[in-house]
């Protein structure tokens, strides 16, 4: 009978960078779990305030990224002077306006929209129904509302500016929306609990909000 060759490695033999990698991964995983647990707790105990804060923060983050990274269509360069009022408008829109609307819309789709003859379960046909209703009705209306509201917040109620912004930005943004969000929403409606769907939208929307802010500022 052959004797098995067992070779143990002492901690001192493990390279420092390998140890550091393990520690970072462990801390990152635990921090993520802790953050999600905390978020979940507040989402259940104070859903309005939680969605208010997270949505506003992520809309603001999108605008910050847009100002620092994306060049202006007018000048071809990123903004030299940071526009704090622009970020404040994005935070206001995300927290005060979009957060309650988006949250209620997710629950409406879950409770009211389903394929004829199907129960309210997350079946494939029900998912198709919800994505179609979301993209055909909510997306166009929400984009028109977004550009109009941001224009009013920046310039006051000036119908000429609102009309020009919609003409310059709304249709092209909607086409981009249809190339991104249907795929996101299929996953969202199929696999994510309804109370977490706005969070999923907001996390993905960091990039989308960056694009929206860019289109709004150049419209």
> Which pLDDT does position 103 carry in this prediction?
87
Is the whole model's pTM more than 0.85, yes or no? Answer: no
Which tops the pLDDT comparison, 69 or 16?
69
What mean pLDDT, rounded, does the chain reach?
Answer: 81
State which of 42-46, 113-117, 161-165 shows the largest mean pLDDT: 161-165
DSSP letters for the chain: -PPP------GGGS-HHHHHHHHHHHHHHHHHHHHHHHHHHHHHH-HHHHHHHHHHHHHHHHHHHHHHHSPPTTTSS--SS--HHHHHHHHHIIIIIIHHHHHHHHHHHHHH---TT--SS--HHHHHHHHHHIIIIIHHHHHHHHHHHHHHHHH-S-HHHHHHHIIIIIHHHHHHHHHHHHHHHHHHHHHS-GGGHHHHHHHHHHHHHHHHHHHHHH-
Q: For the segment 48-91, what is each residue's pLDDT rounded down to a tens digit?
A: 898 899 899 989 998 998 888 876 655 555 556 889 999 999 99
Choice among 15-19, 88-92, 187-191 with the minimum mean pLDDT = 15-19
> Which pLDDT does position 76 carry in this prediction?
52
* pLDDT (mean) for 6-18: 56
Choice among 28-42, 110-124, 131-145, 198-212 with the minimum mean pLDDT = 28-42
């Amino acid at each position: 009978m052959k004797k098995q060759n067992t070779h143990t490695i002492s901690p001192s033999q493990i390279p420092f960078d390998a140890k550091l990698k393990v520690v970072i991964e462990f801390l990152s995983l635990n921090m993520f779990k802790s953050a999600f647990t905390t978020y979940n707790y507040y989402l259940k105990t104070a859903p309005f305030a939680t969605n208010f804060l997270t949505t506003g923060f992520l809309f603001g983050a999108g605008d910050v990224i847009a100002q620092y990274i994306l060049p202006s269509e007018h000048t071809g360069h990123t903004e030299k002077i940071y526009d704090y009022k622009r970020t404040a408008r994005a935070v206001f829109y995300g927290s005060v306006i979009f957060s309650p609307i988006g949250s209620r819309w997710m629950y409406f789709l879950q409770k009211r929209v389903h394929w004829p003859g199907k129960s309210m379960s997350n079946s494939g046909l029900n998912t198709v129904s919800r994505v179609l209703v979301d993209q055909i009705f909510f997306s166009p209306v929400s984009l028109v509302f977004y550009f109009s509201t941001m224009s009013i917040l920046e310039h006051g109620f000036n119908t000429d500016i609102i009309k020009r912004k919609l003409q310059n930005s709304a249709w092209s943004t909607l086409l981009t929306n249809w190339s991104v969000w249907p795929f996101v929403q299929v996953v969202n409606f199929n696999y994510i609990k309804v109370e977490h769907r706005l969070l999923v939208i907001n996390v993905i929307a960091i990039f989308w909000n960056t694009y929206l802010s860019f289109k709004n500022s150049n419209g």
